[in-house]
Amino acid sequence: MNPAAAENAAGRVAAEYSFSSTKPDRVERLRNRFHQTRNFTNSLCADLEPEDCVVQSMSDVSPTKWHLAHTTWFFETFILKKFLPGYRAEIPGYAYLFNSYYNAAGDMHRRDLRGLISRPTVSEAQRYRGSIDLHIDDLLSDADEELLDDIEPLLVLGVHHEQQHQELLITDIKHVFAQNPLYPVFRPAEDRALRCPDAAARRPCQFVDFEQAVTAIGNDSCGFAYDNEGPRHQVLVPEFALASRPVINSEYIAFVEDNGYRRPEFWLSLGWTTVNEQRWDAPLYWTKRDGTWWNFTLSGFRPVDESEPVTHISYFEADAYATWAGARLPTEFEWERAASGCPIEGNFVEDELFHPAAVPSTVSADKAAHELRLHRMFGDVWEWTRSAYSPYPGYRVAPGALGEYNGKFMCNQYVLRGGSCATSSTHIRRTYRNFFQPEKRWQFTGIRVARDPQ
Ligand SMILES: [Fe+2]
């Protein structure tokens, strides 16, 4: 790779950062942010055994060990190799094993073969993490203000990159555990109702109306954002209505029981082909036993809770459900406009439920009388939009390896918004654009419907 290009790219892949604190404060703040993120990754693995950490259950899934090492490679490649004088990789071969898709950073191992790599061991991967962490600490401690100006955007990008991999680590280990007939438990269940007292979301779904408006879409350069969130631009958003909350399991079961998966009139052509090829008859991880739907969760195998937002839904299923329900999926612009008035709060990974939160079945008179508004725009489940993942007007891919972070994936994918129960609350934004191919459903993906004026 070209390190200078990578450095320049970081400022464009990430938003500008303004520096006002003194050097000791600034170093302390960066170190804290770095170590909090690294430690949280380690905590996610605390109850995993080495045998858990090496399995690759499908090509989309990476072994836990690979996530641990790849996030470390990111800091080593884009910061240490550039800015730490005399730095030499302890094990040069890691660059090949743990590069994901950055062609400008060199050759890489095949993604679908990551589960065949028994060495380095899990403990060696953890040692690698510790070693790189120490080097980052040293680099920050010795850096002058000018060097910190160069390092900070890359370090913050690395933190957000690691937060993305925390989410993948969780969804990947769920897919790994789901292959095991013993249904291992990642974390025991807690009282979800107590931890998410948003009783109003249990009400029948309502629609919140929005007038036509020219809306500013995209990042405004305040704080961190990925390059794919900009440039900020104006979009005419015609009148629409958005559901007050995500679709919950009881509603989705009604679609399933109405033979939704067997009626082509609800499905896009590609979706119908996929349903039949894959023999889908329900969301991923669902099984019917003795007339009752069960699902595998990170807390084990249990009956489907009808009051939880439905999850592990492909774009095809989300679109078919919306059609069945007489609605449609929102555009990402409608979603962002609606979210502009919503606080960024909800069930995130810090809550450690690792599942969309159920809501209490009883609704108090006070809650029932609440004003009509949007609930759960953030957290719980990523919400599919009908917007293809494509560049905003004026978007340009940054030069160098880090320019490969987002731009080259703007083809054949759809945008999702709002974050999930596996997303960090410090990682999500109103302008955040996640993206997946329409047949993918191993992420915590769900549905919020919209409709045109009646
Ligand atoms: Fe990555």
Give the 3-state secondary structure of residue 445. Answer: strand
- Phi/psi region, residue 346 (left: phi>0; alpha: psi -120 to 50; beta: rest), is left
Pairing status of strand 434-436 against strand 414-417? antiparallel
What is the average pLDDT value for the chain, to the nearest integer?
91
**Which among 182, 184, 164, 165 has a CA at the least distance from the CA of 174?**
184
Q: Separation of 143 CA from ligand 1 center, angstroms?
A: 26
Question: Can you read off the two tokens belonging to residue 114?
Answer: 């990551």
- Listed in sequence order, the DSSP H helices in 117-216 are 122-142, 145-178, 192-195
Q: Are 308 and 358 in contact (CB under 8 A)?
A: yes
Q: How far is the CA of 161 from the centre of ligand 1 (A)?
A: 6
- Cα–Cα distance, 76 to 202 (Å, whole number): 47
**What is the average pLDDT across 432-439?**
98
Lowest mean pLDDT among 16-25, 91-100, 312-321: 16-25
Residue 288 has pLDDT above 90, yes or no: yes
Q: How far is the CA of 309 from the centre of ligand 1 (A)?
A: 28
User: What CA–CA distance (Å, rounded) separates 271 from 363?
Assistant: 37
Cross-strand pairs, 415: 435
d(CA 240, CA 238): 6
CA of 70 to the centre of ligand 1 (A): 7
Residue 17 has pLDDT above 70, yes or no: no
Whole-number Å distance, alpha carbon 412 to ligand 1 midpoint, is: 20
Task: Identify the residue with better confidence: 21 or 10.
Answer: 21
Q: Is a pLDDT exceeding 90 seen at residue 13?
A: no
Percent residues over pLDDT 90 in the chain = 83
From the CA of 225, how far away is ligand 1's center (Å)?
16
pLDDT at residue number 22: 77
Cα torsion through 191, 194, 198, 202, rounded to 10 = 60
Q: Please tell me the distance from the alpha carbon of residue 305 to that of residue 222, in angstroms, as a whole number.
A: 39
Report the relative pairing of strands 382-388 and 445-446 from DSSP bridges. parallel
DSSP assignment string, 259-281? TGGG-GGGS-HHHHHHHHHHT--
Distance 74 CA to ligand 1 centre (A): 8
**pLDDT, average across residues 272-281:** 98
Closest CA to 66 of 84, 41, 43, 90: 41
Model confidence at 431: pLDDT above 70: yes
Least confident of 8-22, 95-109, 280-294: 8-22
Measured distance CA(227)–CA(218) in Å, rounded: 10
More confident residue, 380 or 10: 380
**What letters, b where the CB count within 10 A reaches 16 and e where it falls short, cover 21-59?**
eeeeebbeebbeebeebbeebeebbeebeeebbbbbbee
Which pTM was predicted? 0.93
Q: CA 318, CA 313: separation in Å to the nearest integer? A: 6
Report the separation in Å between the CA atom of 368 and the middle of ligand 1, taken as the mean of its atom positions: 44
Q: Which of 125-129, 183-187, 372-376 has the lowest mean pLDDT?
A: 372-376
User: If you measure from the C-alpha of residue 82 to the centroid of ligand 1, how many angstroms do you get, rounded to a whole number?
Assistant: 19
Q: What's the pLDDT score for residue 15?
A: 43
* pLDDT confidence band for 205 (50 / 70 / 90): confident
Encoded tokens for 368 = 């029932």
pLDDT value at residue 359: 64
Residues in contact with 49: Cβ distance below 8 Å, sequence separation at least 6, in sequence order: none
Q: Higher pLDDT residue, 146 or 200?
A: 146
Q: Does residue 387 surpass a pLDDT of 80?
A: yes
| Nearest-angstrom CA–CA distance, 400 and 185 | 42
- Whole-number Å distance, alpha carbon 72 to ligand 1 midpoint, is 10
DSSP state string for 114-141: GGG---S-HHHHHHHHHHHHHHHHHHHH
Q: Per-residue confidence at 204, pLDDT binned at 50, 70, 90?
A: confident
Distance 357 CA to ligand 1 centre (A): 27
Higher pLDDT, 205 or 117: 117
- Is the confidence at residue 180, as pLDDT, over 80? yes
Measure 14 CA to ligand 1 centroid, in angstroms. 15
For residue 342, the CA-to-ligand 1 centroid distance in Å is: 29
> Rounded to an integer, what distance in angstroms lies between the CA atom of residue 251 and that of residue 304?
12
**Contact at 8 Å (CB) between 248 and 306?**
yes
Residue 10's pLDDT is 52
pLDDT for residue 85 is more than 80 = yes
Q: For position 14, what pLDDT does the model report?
A: 55
What's the pLDDT band for 189 if we cut at 50, 70, 90?
confident
Mean pLDDT of 207-220: 97
Q: How confident is the model at residue 88 (pLDDT cuts 50, 70, 90)?
A: very high
101 alpha carbon – ligand 1 mean position (Å): 8
- The amino acid occupying position 29 is R
Distance from residue 164's CA to the centre of ligand 1 (Å): 8
Q: Between 3-13 and 145-178, two packed helices, what is the crossing angle to 10 degrees?
A: 80
Q: Using the mean position of ligand 1's atoms as its centre, give its distance from the Cα of residue 46 in Å.
A: 21
Q: What is the pLDDT of residue 365?
A: 41
Quick check: 203 pLDDT over 90? no
The CA distance from 268 to 317, in Å, is: 9
Q: Residue with structure tokens 């406009």?
A: 337
CA 409 to ligand 1 centroid distance, Å: 13
Query: For 124-154, how does the pLDDT look when each residue is reduced to its tens digit (9 = 90+)?
Result: 999 999 999 999 999 999 999 999 999 999 9
Phi, psi of 59 (to 5 degrees): -65, -25
Tokens 């915590």 -> residue: 444
Give the model's pLDDT for residue 202: 55
Number of H helices, E strands in the chain: 13, 12
> Which residue would you say has higher pLDDT here, 14 or 166?
166
Instruction: Report yes or no: 446 and 313 within 8 Å, Cβ to Cβ.
Output: yes
Q: What is the total residue count of the chain?
A: 454
